[in-house]
Structures are given as structure tokens and as C-alpha cells.
Structure 1
Amino acid sequence: MAEVADNGRMSDDRLESLRRICLVLPEVTERLSHGEPTWFVRGRKTFVTYADHHHDDRLGFWCPAPPGVQEELVAQEPERFFRPPYVGHRGWLGVRLDVDVDWAEIAEIVTDAYRMVAPKKLVAQLDGPAPA
């Protein structure tokens, strides 16, 4: 596990990277929820919650995942993925950020979470214009 150095610098860098991924998605806003940065679709539907050692000893984030994905990823890579407290029973996925991170993979996970909660009109914006 990577160590937090320079008074949380790793934590700050990881948060900024996650923030950039979330805020590029259509109609996403950020505000604190339960003391942690959280991203919402249209200001009301949570799709990513940052978790900076607040609920356990892991630096990571929680997000909804398509059916079966949480179980599959946690079984395959328990050092990177986990069942988060409070929302894990609903299929949410915990993703560690205090290990080596593949930011392209994180972007895919975040985008999938967005697709789980965003209205169809916003999801369509991700997919580009419909063929003529």
C-alpha cells in the first residue's frame, strides 16, 4: 500500500484526479456529503463518494456498479476493490486509491457509475449524436 506523504499530498493528488474525471461528465456538481467530497448528477443523485480514511483505513471512493460487477471485481482483485460499508449491500463498489491506480480504468468505473444514475438524456450525451 502506498504511504501518505507530505501531510496528505498523495490524498490531495488522488482527490484532484478523481474530481477531474467526475466533473467532465454532463451536469455533475460536487458538494460535501457526510464530510466527504461527493459528486451528484443534476445536484441530487449521488454517483461517486470520496472516502479519505473516514469510514475505514482505506483511501478510495464508492460508486454504484452494474449488477454483478461488485462481486466480480472484489473476488478477482480484493487488494483494489471492496464492498463499501452502508451501500455495499446495494451493489456499490469500493475502489482503492491508496494503491497503484490505473486512471483510465478509474474513468471507466466512474463513467459506468454515472450511467447507472443519470437520466437517459444525459447518458445519450456520453454516446454522442445518434446515427442519421
Structure 2
Amino acid sequence: MVTVDDVRRVARALPRTEEALVRDHVKFRVRGIVYASVSPDETLMGFGFPKEERAALVAAEPEKFLMPLPSDERYQWVRVRLAAIDVAEMRELVTDAWRMVVPKKVAAAYDAL
């Protein structure tokens, strides 16, 4: 099972990332834009994901992925059960979400490492 510490380790390695605690959620953001968030009970992680693709993602693996809360449906966001993924998959989800919020040149520089 993926833990909040695993998410933290991946997110903090990404350029320009800041960590914040907001209403008991651990959030990772770039310049105020949140790209990943772990629930207070550490069972779910929300992450940036294209709106137009999320219904298909959730339908394909409903035991793993959930739609965002109704209050978050207007955002490019989806949720995942941390117990249903491994660290490699979490790393991919978090990194892809981070790419959505950083300038392209920052992502390109990271890829060049």
C-alpha cells in the first residue's frame, strides 16, 4: 500500500513543489495550484487529471479510481484508493499531475535529468 510518505517523497522531488496542510489534507502544489492531495485518513489521493478522460478512467477501473467530490467536479481532478496502487503507479500519477501545472520548459528540464 502507498503511504503519504511515499507520495511526499515523490512530490518533493519535483521542481517548484510546495507542501501544505489544508483542512487536514496534505497538499502538493506549484505556485498555489494543487496537483495532488492526500485525504486526512490517508486512504485516498486526489490528483490532477484531464476532465474529458476521467469518466473513462473511473469506468475502466472503478475498484481503483473514483470521480472527484461534487464540489471538485469543475476541476481537472480524480481520486485513487492508495491501497489499490503501488509506488510506481503513484509516481506516474503524481508526476503527470505535476506536469499539468508547471511550465513546459520546467517539465522538459526535469525530463532531461
Which structure 1 residue ranges, 5 or more long, are not aligned?
Answer: 1-9
Local SS of the residue matching 1:74? helix
Q: 1:87 aligned to 2:76?
A: no
Structure 1 counterpart of 2:87, which letter?
Answer: W
Q: Measure the CA separation in 2 of the matches of 1:92 and 1:113.
A: 9
- Structure 1's 91 and 46: CA in aligned 2 closer, same or farther, altered over 3 A? closer
Q: Measure the CA separation in 1 of the matches of 2:27 and 2:4.
A: 11
Q: Which residue of 2 aligns with 1:77?
A: 61
Deviation of 1:52 after TM superposition, in Å, equals 2.8
Local SS of the residue matching 1:111? helix
Structure 1 runs of 4+ aligned residues shifted over 2 Å read 66-69, 88-91
Q: Which residue of 2 aligns with 1:59?
A: 43
Q: Deviations over 1:82-121 (max 9, x none)?
A: 0121223433110111x24221111111111001111222
Q: Measure the CA separation in 2 of the matches of 1:39 and 1:104.
A: 18
Q: Which piece of structure 1 moves more, 120-129 or 23-32?
A: 120-129
Contact 1:67 1:91 in 2 (8 A): yes
Give the one of 7, 28, 33 matched to 2:22. 33
Larger radius of gyration: 1
Local SS of the residue matching 1:30? strand
With normalisation by structure 2, the TM-score equals 0.85
With normalisation by structure 1, the TM-score equals 0.74
Give the one of 88, 99, 109 matched to 1:104. 88
Q: 1:24 aligned to 2:13?
A: yes
Structure 2 counterpart of 1:102, which letter?
Answer: D
- Structure 1's 126 and 117: CA in aligned 2 closer, same or farther, altered over 3 A? same
CA RMSD of the aligned region, Å?
Answer: 2.0
Q: Percent of counterpart pairs with the same letter?
A: 34
Which structure 2 residue ranges, 5 or more long, are not aligned?
Answer: none
